[in-house]
Structure 1
Amino acid sequence: MVLGVTFWFLLSSALSVAEPTNDLAASRKAVVYSSCKIPNTAALTFDDGPYKFMTNISDLLVSKGAKGTFFVNGDNYACIYDTKVAARLQYAYSNGHQICSHTWSHPDLQTLSENEIAGEIAQVDIALMKILGVASPFIRPPFGSYNTLVRQVAFQQNKSLVLWDTDSEDSLNATVAQSEGIYDDAISANLSTILALNHETEQTTAQELIGYAVDALQAANYSLVTVAECLGLEPYSFVGQLGQRDTTWFCPEDDDS
């Protein structure tokens, strides 16, 4: 009963902050992280899921004593509430990986109004609470695109923005060899920390690149941790129990199915 009350409180909060304030001029802005803070850490991050390769990536990381961070959409490649998709999300979370928001539908947030930005954030917040029972304080804006308004709305919804300092370019048609070279260059630069962008929707990333990257980073004495761990922060602002499917688990366009 307590969990249920807490869920509906958080749900109401998420929905309420989606309303425009009409007074953002003096608003505080969300913190933007583009690199890790804890020395000798590397955070491998994966955008655009939960996709069919999420489970494989999770298993690979666990087998090598590493953790990853997944920035997920609500309705991009698939609806987050679909049975298989939600199961992947719960699997990765239960295996110790961090789950964060990547917005509901993967828009360029700079092109949206205040209310639209808030809705993109709130819908994923609601989904993560329903499916995982958690509230994430982190969001990655699609394309790394943000402006002052995005930061103001994100702050209102208790979010920090997470970018990256190393892009594998797997979503930009880089070959596996080219992406491996990017990791090699980052390691050769003797960077104190690495915050790397990858995409779990890329088959070659899941099946070839990540295994190489983990081995190379660990050989260079980096600890492969979550974004929260590499920043020295808590991964979630609320942690409850895994959710159970009910009639509210659907994406808006699926309402008439």
Structure 2
Amino acid sequence: MQLSLLCAGLLATANLVFAAPTPSVTIDVNSTELVTTTKSHWAPQFSPEFPGLKVTNPNPKYNSGPINTGTTLSKKTLDLSKYPKAWEVPSPNSAEVKAVINKINWDLVPKSPKRKAKNGDLDETGYDEDKDPDCWWTATLCTKPKVDYIPSDFYTCPTKGDWGLTYDDGPFVYSDDDDKTTQYENKWSEPELYNFLAKEDLKASLFYVGSNVIQYPEAAKRALNNGHTLCSHTWSHTTMTTLTNEQVVAELYWSLKAIKDAAGVTTRCWRPPQGDVDDRVRAIAWQMGLHTVIWDEDTDDWAMPAPGGSNLPPEKVDAKFAKWIKNQQQGKYKTGIMVLEHELNHATIQMTEKWLPKVKQTFNVVSAMQCNGVTQPYWEKSFEYPAIH
């Protein structure tokens, strides 16, 4: 695999302007249509609509204070009868999903093949990594699409000294399970992480799994009101290149609806589970209003021994944090970095609580979307984050 070092600059005012080397285009974030310039060749985008959804927070705005750090949150779920079964790839046959499928220009979706998994891992057999015709991140870490009508992924922070803070797999859901392990996890479910970040005066980009959002919408509300950026991490956390086009739409649609239902915002950012994305999936996501976000540094915190984890010794994760801090102190980075962490379990939360205060002493810790100049990551015209540079 070869990681290409791309400069993913983005300037943001009331509109988002994507910068060179690709031709520029202006997207009016207050509209559901693409506003093009004479130099533009980005594929048109649209904001998904959610028929019959009664949003409790119709005009959300950035909360400049005070921040809520209460230790409890309501355990009330969304209306689960209006959503697919959690943690399963949703059917693309619902009327809502079909309406989105019909809005996509399928001529602008590359004919990349549907991938296969082998023994739980994506099967890269036969894929030409040198040519990398599909910009398949799993095989080559490619972040610049081979088609010229989709922008490059966000994967780093362009400004030297920035630490782009991201967490996947949230919200970390409270469980009423009788299982003792799960009960132990309850102590570390939200709002534990969000209250810690508030204490440290830090903002993050949070990549939410729709199946978690419907179970714990109050956590999503807390995160938004505390100044974090909410992005999609699909509905069921499935490797996206293994799905059909229609299933990709369904995964993205239901995650978007869950976030909108819970917090009142329609997000324009998403991260593929395991980073598994190619130009076919990117093109579908982009037309649905979503910019792909990857990372360039990975804590591997998910793999530590804990529920949902594996057997990676925590010392290995400690060593990564220590190395990043040392590299920054020695001036080895020419840009900032975007770091992948997880809300997944007590081990990941404890690891970030251990290291972020130390990271702050060396890096400028900021939300990953904001470090890329994105101040309006939602379709809602009323919501704008403060610029950080």
Q: Which amino acid aligns with 1:90?
A: K
Q: Tell me the equivalent position of 1:106.
A: 237
The Cα of 1:172 is off from its aligned counterpart by 2.2
Q: Tell me the equivalent position of 1:239.
A: 380
Q: Tell me the equivalent position of 1:177.
A: 315
Deviates more, 1:134-143 or 1:170-179: 170-179
Deviations 1:235-255 (A, max 9, x none): 42323799xxxxxxxxxxxxx
1:45 corresponds to 2:166: yes
1:147 corresponds to 2:268: no
The Cα of 1:126 is off from its aligned counterpart by 1.4
Q: Is the 8 A contact 2:220 2:259 kept in 1?
A: no
Deviations 1:80-101 (A, max 9, x none): 223xx00111111111111110
| In structure 1, distance between residues paired with 2:194 and 2:214 | 19
- Are the structure 2 counterparts of residues 29 and 240 from structure 1 closer, same or farther at C-alpha, using a change threshold of 3 Å? closer
Deviations 1:190-211 (A, max 9, x none): 23312111110121121x2112
1:81 corresponds to 2:214: yes
Flag the structure with more relative contact order, 1 or 2, with Cα contacts below 8 A and sequence separation at least 6: 1
The Cα of 1:30 is off from its aligned counterpart by 4.7
The Cα of 1:184 is off from its aligned counterpart by 1.4
The answer for unaligned runs of 5 or more in structure 1 is 1-5, 243-257
What is the TM-score normalised by the length of structure 1?
A: 0.80
| In structure 2, distance between residues paired with 1:201 and 1:167 | 15
The Cα of 1:12 is off from its aligned counterpart by 5.1
The answer for unaligned runs of 5 or more in structure 2 is 1-31, 33-46, 52-95, 111-146, 174-188, 305-311, 384-389
Deviations 1:132-157 (A, max 9, x none): 11121111000000111011111111
The count of residues paired between Structure 1 and Structure 2 equals: 228
Q: Tell me the equivalent position of 1:129.
A: 260
| In structure 2, distance between residues paired with 1:160 and 1:31 | 9
Q: Tell me the equivalent position of 1:70.
A: 206
Deviations 1:7-32 (A, max 9, x none): xx851598533346442247833531
Q: Is the 8 A contact 2:207 2:232 kept in 1?
A: yes
Q: Tell me the equivalent position of 2:81.
A: none
Larger radius of gyration: 2
Q: Residue 201 of structure 2: SS of its match in structure 1?
A: coil
Q: Tell me the equivalent position of 2:49.
A: 11
Q: Is the 8 A contact 1:109 1:142 kept in 2?
A: yes
**Identity rate of aligned residues, in percent?**
23
Q: Is the 8 A contact 1:133 1:240 kept in 2?
A: no
Q: Tell me the equivalent position of 1:224.
A: 365
Q: Tell me the equivalent position of 1:193.
A: 336
- Are the structure 2 counterparts of residues 10 and 142 from structure 1 closer, same or farther at C-alpha, using a change threshold of 3 Å? closer
Q: Tell me the equivalent position of 2:356.
A: 214
Deviates more, 1:42-51 or 1:14-23: 14-23
Q: Residue 66 of structure 1: SS of its match in structure 2?
A: coil
